Amino acid sequence: MKFLCVDCDEQMPLEERREPGDGTFAASFRCPRCDRSVVMLANPAETRLVGALGVKIGGRELDAAPMELVRGNIVGRTDAFTEAERRSGRPVWTADAEGRLARVPNFVHGMVKKIYTEYAVEHDITEITPEVMDQARSELGLEGM
């Protein structure tokens, strides 16, 4: 994609890009000769189409993370992936803790399990018990979980 200042017959370089967080995308271009600028405003569907290619307009500052497109877009399991360096040190759930977790509504089950697991990892806790769950709930303000 190139932008051309018709009056000057000069290519307008990309100046700035913005993603305001509402699904849209904006990119500004300025003519180096006459200083006129234009802004391209993409609607959510257009922005999504480019995003679905797994590319960033204007280029990437960081390399893509493994399976970035899928992980960032699929609606599915929250525990589908584990960071390998943490996998070996993953805390174990006791039967009592699993029993309490089972009472959590299905639709938030994965998310709640992840929260407790991450809490345990951050606190070097190797076994998640009901007491650890109480402790996490109190510290993290997770009443009802």
Nearer to another protein, 73 or 138 (CB): 73
- As a whole number of angstroms, the distance between CA 145 and CA 103 comes to 9
Tell the smallest beta-carbon distance from residue 76 to another protein (Å): 4
Tell the smallest beta-carbon distance from residue 26 to another protein (Å): 14
User: Where on the chain is the footprint of another protein (CB under 8 A)?
Assistant: 1-2, 4, 6, 9, 11, 13-14, 23, 44-45, 48-60, 66-70, 72-77, 79-85, 87, 110
Q: CA-based angle 22:26:30, to the nearest 5?
A: 165
CB 33 within 8 A of CB 26: no
Cα four-point dihedral sign 116, 122, 128, 130:
negative
Nearer to another protein, 80 or 134 (CB): 80
CB 93 within 8 A of CB 104: no
Nearer to another protein, 14 or 135 (CB): 14
Nearer to another protein, 92 or 96 (CB): 92
Nearer to another protein, 9 or 122 (CB): 9
Helix (H, G, I), strand (E, B) or coil at 143: coil
Q: Which long-range contacts (CB under 8 A, 24 or more apart) does 50-59 make?
A: 50/25, 57/1, 57/17, 57/25, 57/27, 58/14, 58/17, 58/27
Tell the smallest beta-carbon distance from residue 71 to another protein (Å): 8
